[in-house]
Structure 1
Amino acid sequence: MKSATLPPLRVTPDLRAAAESVLEDGESLSSFVETSVRKQIEFRRVQKEFIARGLASREEAKRTGVYFTAEQSLARLDAILQKHKPGSV
Protein backbone atom coordinates (compact mmCIF):
# COMPACT_ATOMS: atom_id res chain seq x y z
CA MET A 1 0.00 0.00 0.00
CA LYS A 2 1.24 3.46 -0.85
CA SER A 3 1.99 5.70 2.12
CA ALA A 4 0.24 8.99 2.72
CA THR A 5 0.96 12.05 4.81
CA LEU A 6 -0.99 13.74 7.55
CA PRO A 7 -1.69 17.45 7.19
CA PRO A 8 1.09 19.75 8.38
CA LEU A 9 0.47 20.98 11.87
CA ARG A 10 1.28 24.47 13.11
CA VAL A 11 1.99 24.67 16.82
CA THR A 12 3.40 27.20 19.22
CA PRO A 13 7.12 27.07 19.91
CA ASP A 14 6.29 26.09 23.50
CA LEU A 15 4.29 23.04 22.40
CA ARG A 16 7.03 21.93 20.02
CA ALA A 17 9.66 22.34 22.75
CA ALA A 18 7.50 20.38 25.19
CA ALA A 19 7.09 17.55 22.67
CA GLU A 20 10.81 17.49 21.91
CA SER A 21 11.64 17.46 25.62
CA VAL A 22 9.93 14.09 26.11
CA LEU A 23 11.36 12.29 23.08
CA GLU A 24 13.13 9.04 23.87
CA ASP A 25 16.63 8.25 22.62
CA GLY A 26 16.57 7.90 18.83
CA GLU A 27 12.93 8.94 18.58
CA SER A 28 12.03 11.59 16.05
CA LEU A 29 9.31 14.17 16.42
CA SER A 30 7.58 12.60 13.41
CA SER A 31 7.52 9.14 14.99
CA PHE A 32 6.27 10.67 18.26
CA VAL A 33 3.40 12.36 16.42
CA GLU A 34 2.59 9.17 14.49
CA THR A 35 2.52 7.11 17.68
CA SER A 36 0.33 9.72 19.37
CA VAL A 37 -2.15 9.66 16.48
CA ARG A 38 -2.26 5.85 16.51
CA LYS A 39 -2.90 5.78 20.28
CA GLN A 40 -5.63 8.41 20.02
CA ILE A 41 -7.33 6.45 17.22
CA GLU A 42 -7.30 3.29 19.36
CA PHE A 43 -8.52 5.19 22.42
CA ARG A 44 -11.45 6.67 20.51
CA ARG A 45 -12.34 3.30 18.98
CA VAL A 46 -12.38 1.62 22.40
CA GLN A 47 -14.30 4.54 23.90
CA LYS A 48 -16.94 4.35 21.15
CA GLU A 49 -17.34 0.59 21.72
CA PHE A 50 -17.61 1.15 25.50
CA ILE A 51 -20.37 3.71 25.02
CA ALA A 52 -22.19 1.44 22.59
CA ARG A 53 -22.10 -1.42 25.13
CA GLY A 54 -23.37 0.91 27.85
CA LEU A 55 -26.25 2.13 25.71
CA ALA A 56 -27.13 -1.46 24.74
CA SER A 57 -27.08 -2.43 28.41
CA ARG A 58 -29.37 0.48 29.24
CA GLU A 59 -31.82 -0.60 26.55
CA GLU A 60 -31.71 -4.20 27.82
CA ALA A 61 -32.45 -3.00 31.36
CA LYS A 62 -35.38 -0.93 30.09
CA ARG A 63 -36.68 -3.90 28.12
CA THR A 64 -36.38 -6.43 30.94
CA GLY A 65 -36.86 -4.18 33.95
CA VAL A 66 -33.77 -5.75 35.57
CA TYR A 67 -31.44 -3.17 37.06
CA PHE A 68 -28.36 -3.48 39.26
CA THR A 69 -27.18 -1.07 41.95
CA ALA A 70 -23.68 0.38 41.87
CA GLU A 71 -22.83 -1.78 44.88
CA GLN A 72 -23.95 -4.94 43.07
CA SER A 73 -21.93 -4.02 39.99
CA LEU A 74 -18.81 -3.24 42.02
CA ALA A 75 -19.16 -6.48 43.98
CA ARG A 76 -19.27 -8.45 40.72
CA LEU A 77 -16.20 -6.61 39.43
CA ASP A 78 -14.37 -7.28 42.71
CA ALA A 79 -15.20 -10.99 42.39
CA ILE A 80 -13.76 -11.04 38.87
CA LEU A 81 -10.58 -9.33 40.07
CA GLN A 82 -10.19 -11.75 42.97
CA LYS A 83 -10.61 -14.70 40.61
CA HIS A 84 -7.77 -13.45 38.40
CA LYS A 85 -5.31 -12.42 41.11
CA PRO A 86 -2.12 -14.48 41.21
CA GLY A 87 -2.35 -17.25 43.79
CA SER A 88 -6.16 -17.36 43.84
CA VAL A 89 -8.05 -20.49 42.92
Structure 2
Amino acid sequence: MKIVATPPACIDPASREEIEQALDEGDSLACIAETAVRQEITRCEPQSEFLRRGIAAIDRTAAAGDGIAPSSVIARLEAKLAEARKARPS
Protein backbone atom coordinates (compact mmCIF):
# COMPACT_ATOMS: atom_id res chain seq x y z
CA MET A 1 0.00 0.00 0.00
CA LYS A 2 1.34 3.38 -0.98
CA ILE A 3 1.26 6.11 1.66
CA VAL A 4 0.53 9.56 0.28
CA ALA A 5 1.20 12.76 2.16
CA THR A 6 -1.70 15.17 1.98
CA PRO A 7 -1.22 18.91 1.75
CA PRO A 8 -1.88 20.93 4.88
CA ALA A 9 -5.41 22.25 5.22
CA CYS A 10 -6.12 25.82 6.25
CA ILE A 11 -8.77 25.84 8.95
CA ASP A 12 -10.00 28.96 10.67
CA PRO A 13 -9.26 29.03 14.41
CA ALA A 14 -12.91 28.77 15.49
CA SER A 15 -13.49 25.67 13.37
CA ARG A 16 -10.23 24.11 14.52
CA GLU A 17 -11.21 24.59 18.16
CA GLU A 18 -14.64 23.08 17.48
CA ILE A 19 -13.05 20.08 15.76
CA GLU A 20 -10.51 19.54 18.54
CA GLN A 21 -13.29 19.57 21.16
CA ALA A 22 -15.19 16.92 19.19
CA LEU A 23 -12.20 14.57 18.88
CA ASP A 24 -12.23 11.36 20.85
CA GLU A 25 -9.23 10.31 22.93
CA GLY A 26 -6.39 9.35 20.60
CA ASP A 27 -8.00 10.93 17.51
CA SER A 28 -6.28 13.64 15.53
CA LEU A 29 -7.20 16.23 12.97
CA ALA A 30 -5.38 14.11 10.38
CA CYS A 31 -7.59 11.14 11.31
CA ILE A 32 -10.72 13.26 10.83
CA ALA A 33 -9.43 14.50 7.45
CA GLU A 34 -8.64 10.96 6.29
CA THR A 35 -12.10 9.76 7.30
CA ALA A 36 -13.73 12.66 5.44
CA VAL A 37 -11.72 11.91 2.30
CA ARG A 38 -12.65 8.21 2.46
CA GLN A 39 -16.34 9.08 2.86
CA GLU A 40 -16.18 11.47 -0.11
CA ILE A 41 -14.55 8.79 -2.28
CA THR A 42 -17.24 6.30 -1.26
CA ARG A 43 -19.91 8.88 -2.14
CA CYS A 44 -18.37 9.71 -5.52
CA GLU A 45 -17.72 6.15 -6.77
CA PRO A 46 -21.37 5.31 -7.59
CA GLN A 47 -21.76 8.66 -9.37
CA SER A 48 -18.64 8.01 -11.45
CA GLU A 49 -19.92 4.53 -12.37
CA PHE A 50 -23.33 5.97 -13.30
CA LEU A 51 -21.67 8.52 -15.59
CA ARG A 52 -19.43 5.87 -17.15
CA ARG A 53 -22.43 3.66 -17.95
CA GLY A 54 -24.38 6.62 -19.34
CA ILE A 55 -21.56 7.65 -21.64
CA ALA A 56 -21.15 4.05 -22.82
CA ALA A 57 -24.89 3.88 -23.59
CA ILE A 58 -24.70 7.12 -25.56
CA ASP A 59 -21.73 5.78 -27.52
CA ARG A 60 -23.58 2.49 -28.29
CA THR A 61 -26.68 4.37 -29.44
CA ALA A 62 -24.63 6.71 -31.63
CA ALA A 63 -22.77 3.78 -33.18
CA ALA A 64 -26.01 1.86 -33.85
CA GLY A 65 -27.77 4.95 -35.15
CA ASP A 66 -31.05 3.91 -33.52
CA GLY A 67 -31.51 6.69 -31.00
CA ILE A 68 -34.59 8.86 -30.58
CA ALA A 69 -34.25 12.50 -31.62
CA PRO A 70 -34.24 14.89 -28.67
CA SER A 71 -37.00 16.99 -30.27
CA SER A 72 -39.23 13.89 -30.37
CA VAL A 73 -38.61 13.15 -26.69
CA ILE A 74 -39.31 16.75 -25.71
CA ALA A 75 -42.51 16.81 -27.79
CA ARG A 76 -43.77 13.66 -26.02
CA LEU A 77 -42.91 15.10 -22.60
CA GLU A 78 -44.66 18.38 -23.43
CA ALA A 79 -47.76 16.44 -24.53
CA LYS A 80 -47.78 14.51 -21.23
CA LEU A 81 -47.40 17.75 -19.31
CA ALA A 82 -50.29 19.34 -21.22
CA GLU A 83 -52.49 16.31 -20.47
CA ALA A 84 -51.55 16.43 -16.78
CA ARG A 85 -52.37 20.13 -16.62
CA LYS A 86 -55.77 19.55 -18.25
CA ALA A 87 -56.56 16.70 -15.85
CA ARG A 88 -55.57 18.72 -12.78
CA PRO A 89 -58.51 20.21 -10.91
CA SER A 90 -58.58 24.00 -11.02
TM-score normalised per structure 1: 0.49
Higher Rg of the two aligned structures: 2
TM-score normalised per structure 2: 0.49
